[in-house]
Amino acid sequence: MFMVHDGAGGKSRKGETIFADGVRYIMVNDKWSRSRISVEETRQQEKEDQKNAKSHSCHYLRDETVNGETAAVYSVQTEIESAKSESKVWVSKGKGLILRQEVDLDTGDSDAKDRDHMSIRYEYTNVHAPQI
């Protein structure tokens, strides 16, 4: 997973995450480290967040091509206690895997500086645990 995060104050950060053999590896400042949170714990937290959301909706928008693959594009809105997010998600029609995601996150302050944007690209081939 490759991410560009444009955060509050105009700061932009790039990051990578690799999921391999049930472990999540995260690159921070060009250095790989093993996450303290397992892949399963991440899944469970996502389920819990969705269950506790004030609101959550998802609907189909259209089909588009991403890197030569036909993808269904969905609009997703979620509101939790501390934030709201609006996303577009591109899901491969052939493989059912997420190919791309654009996320806008609002932390609740009306000031635009508290809004974050993340662009995420997913790859599923030639993925290996990094050397730590």
Band (pLDDT 50/70/90 cuts) for residue 113 is low
Mean pLDDT rounded to a whole number for the chain:
89
105 vs 98, higher pLDDT: 98
Question: Which helix H or strand E contains 44, and what residues bound it?
Answer: helix 39-52
* Helix/strand/coil for 5: strand
* pLDDT at residue 65 tops 90: yes
**Tens digits of residue pLDDT in 32-45:** 999 998 888 888 98
Band (pLDDT 50/70/90 cuts) for residue 49 is confident
* pLDDT at residue 120 tops 90: yes
Structure tokens at 55: 């609101």
Which one, of 1, 5, 36, 34, lies nearest residue 118 by Cα? 5
Contacts of 102 (CB under 8 A, 6+ apart): 87, 88, 117, 118, 119, 120
Q: Please check whether residue 54 is in contact with residue 79, taking contact to mean a CB–CB distance below 8 angstroms.
A: yes
First to last CA, the chain: 18
Cα(37)–Cα(2) distance, integer angstroms: 18
* pLDDT at residue 69 tops 60: yes
